[in-house]
Amino acid sequence: MRLPASQVAVIEAASADEAQTIDQLASATGEKPETVTGAAFDLEADGLVTIEEDVEESVELTEEGQQYLDDGLPEVRLYEAAIDLDAAADSVSMGQVIGSSGLGGNAVDIALSNYARKGYGAIDSGEITADPAADPNADTEAAALASIETDDPDSVDAETLDQLDHRGLVDRSERTVRSVQLTDDGVTALMEGVEAAETVDRLTPELLTSGEWESVEFTEYNVEADAPEYGGGKEHILRQTANRVKDVLVGMGFQEMEGPHVDADFWINDCLFMPQDHPARTHWDRFAMDEPREIDELPPDLVERVERAHREGVGEHGDGYHSPWDEDFARALALRGHTTSLSTRYLSGEQVGELEPPQRYFSVEKVYRNDTLDPTHLLEFFQIEGWVMAKDLSVRDLMGTFEEFYAQFGITDIEFKPHYNPYTEPSFELFGTHPETGELIEIGNSGIFREEMLEPLGVECDVMAWGLALERLLMLIYGFEDIRDVHGTLCDLELLRETEVMY
């Protein structure tokens, strides 16, 4: 029997009595594991060998796990320090025990969270007690770390291994191990004799010009054989959608705005006629800068006009807020909570000079809010900001703009709901129907900028504006139910690879 050289090497190294792994055969033949794998699959197709597959789990200590193996688990060190301070007889202050244990940083929180769980004692009102009957030498997690270090993970029970994995002390991985064994037909073929055939795996220009292609034997291709998978880089679907949004808005006559991610509260909120005692301006809802803490300079004339609008109002019937207004507070730097800070910079003339109507501007940029994470909220996300400056604008103009914009993405069922904003009047929210769940999802906020906002900025005509959520648009287009699947640290990479872009 004539076979390709790699197949001859594998069938001669294989055994009918004992299965051998691909790695063992590769070592015996001197071939690469992938070459042995391909040859084994070809031999299996001819009935000369059988291939069995098993999944092996490997467990290794992480850097943190190795540190705890060397220095001791934080909770064990805390217990030993408590025992040394006689916490078994009476409670001892937590600070004293922590100082004696030598723990610092995150290790302190880790020790405190596992101390009572493992029955080492109790922590109450800043005091620690130690259970004298506890035995740190019998700590199953510490013993498991030692077993894994000595390549004996099978001795660790599943529950303990899961706990170590949850704590980030081990790395677990799986791999498929293939074992090859000769069949009766394979033994017969060996007894009758096999020899290596001269084979080539591709048709080359040299074979064609020399005419050798007529006499050589070509290797058969096994289309079912395993091949390495390569996940090539591609543009993220969120970025693709952002670029589509930009193309649509440019096509509608808009120009793009640019500006800083970190900006003064003055541009982010004060210029929007947002009172300084508004709950959304507290440290609970914004990400303030620690260094530098405030902007060096603000336009003095604009600051004066904005402060007057806040204190006294604008126009004959304006009344202002009669609430505290502090320029130092306005100078404070923070990550922008909305890209309307760009709009105030442009409308005031600070960014590109004074603008004459009509004007259309937009941005698709990232904003930052201290929100609670859920399927529709993230701490940072993209906002589609836009505004139109012209005379005699109405809500109908604003609604018509949205209908035209969303129609470009196949969304024609937009609903509107009246809303309140400190900086727009009238105002309304936008909602779209989720294609999978049928639920209404808020996709944006909009309105006509108030006189109290525009007059200090020097704008003497109407301005309609909006802030739309790019991620919510993505949900309506593709049917995603949890935005964390496509954006953030928990995103589903397989979903991103498989999702087809829609145009």
> What residues are designated binding site for L-phenylalanine?
340, 383-385, 423, 449
Helices (H) and strands (E) in the chain, counts: 20, 19
Q: Taking a C-beta distance cutoff of 8 angstroms, is the pair 148, 140 a contact?
A: no
Known binding-site residue numbers: 340, 383-385, 423, 425, 449
SS3 content of the chain, % helix, strand, coil (to 5): 40, 25, 35
3-state SS, one letter per residue, for 218-275: ECCCCCCCCCCCCCCCCCCHHHHHHHHHHHHHHHCCCEECCCCCEEEHHHHCHHHCCC
- Strand runs (DSSP E) across 154-209, as ranges? 170-182, 195-197, 199-200
Cβ neighbours for 37, distance < 8 A, ≥ 6 positions apart: 22, 178, 225, 226
Residues annotated within a binding site for Mg(2+):
425
Largest CA distance in the chain: 109
Alpha-carbon span 291 to 417, nearest angstrom: 40
| Tokens 């394979």, located at residue | 186
**Residue with structure tokens 């020790």?**
111
Tokens describing residue 153: 């993970």
Rounded distance between C-alpha atoms, residue 475 and residue 129, angstroms: 52
DSSP class of residue 332? B
Pick from 446, 441, 435: which is nearest to 375 by CA? 441
